Amino acid sequence: MPFHVETAFIIDGTLYTLLAFSLVTWTLIFFKIWQFAKTNYYNKRYSTSFWNATDLNAAQQIPVEQVRGPKARVAACGFAWLAELNDPVAVASLKFRGSPQDLLEQALRKQTQDEQRRIESGLTMLASIGSTAPFVGLFGTVMGIMNAMHDISASGSASLDVVAGPIGDALIATAIGIAVAVPAVLAYNFFIRRAKHHRASLEHFVDGFLHIAFGDNSTKE
């Protein structure tokens, strides 16, 4: 296959790759906006119902339509653990060897980590696109310039009209790569900050749950 045909194929492949990166980026951005908004709504609603309950037994009876979101799942994990603690058969297992407070905290922290992984899903992809898209665009530019030089040498003319057009077209790939990377990087920085706030909120909720579970009602989020 001729060199210029192969190069043109690579350039087209680079542009389609950047287009795919852009589609993935904006899909993730809209999905994460929806996910964070939904999570924040469910957490606030459940947190209000939880702290308005008179005790853990009342909190466990919160209407099912309000038991949604990360905090609700963390609380459900705590309720399930406390129920097992009162089971004489289950409490004899190695799972319950140690301080009950430490073991409950371990279970709640593990559930918190699971919720954090869920909320951070997709952010690695945004970071990867933000860091690689400019280089993909630069690769397309280099290949485009090589193709342009090959055509120029084949035509035997090096006038400005002949050189400027193909090289200008080749530089478009770099511009597209930067245009794809900028929203990905901005979105990643924004969402990673939101994820940190989400984790802090869950950790505060866990601290409050532990104090209540072991007879200290002085801590609330």
**Distance between CA atoms of 1 and 133, rounded to whole angstroms?**
28
* SS3 (DSSP) at 187: helix
Location of structure tokens 């002085």: 218
Q: Output the pLDDT for position 214.
A: 77
Look at residue 162 and tell me whether its pLDDT is greater than 60. no
- Tens digits of residue pLDDT in 99-153: 778 888 888 999 999 999 999 999 999 999 999 999 999 988 888 787 777 766 7
- Secondary structure, 3-state, 113-160: HHHHHHHHCCHHHHHHHHHHHHHHHHHHHHHHHHHHHHHHHHHCCCCH
Check residues 153 and 79 and name the one with the higher pLDDT: 79
Q: Output the pLDDT for position 185.
A: 96
For the residues 158-186, what does the mean pLDDT come to? Answer: 79
- Tens digits of residue pLDDT in 1-60: 454 556 677 778 888 999 999 999 999 999 999 999 999 999 999 999 899 888 888 888
Q: Output the pLDDT for position 218.
A: 39
Confidence of residue 219 (pLDDT cuts 50, 70, 90): very low
Look at residue 70 and tell me whether its pLDDT is greater than 60. yes
Residue 39: which H helix or E strand, with range?
A: helix 3-52
Check: CB of residue 104 under 8 Å from CB of residue 151: no
Token digits for 196? 């940190």
Check residues 109 and 96 and name the one with the higher pLDDT: 109
Q: Output the pLDDT for position 191.
A: 96
Location of structure tokens 């924040």: 40
For the residues 83-110, what does the mean pLDDT come to? Answer: 76
Q: Output the pLDDT for position 197.
A: 94
**Distance between CA atoms of 103 and 86, rounded to whole angstroms?**
14
| pTM, rounded to two decimals | 0.81
For the residues 150-174, what does the mean pLDDT come to? Answer: 67
How far is C-alpha 7 from the chain's CA centre? 36
**Distance between CA atoms of 66 and 68, rounded to whole angstroms?**
6
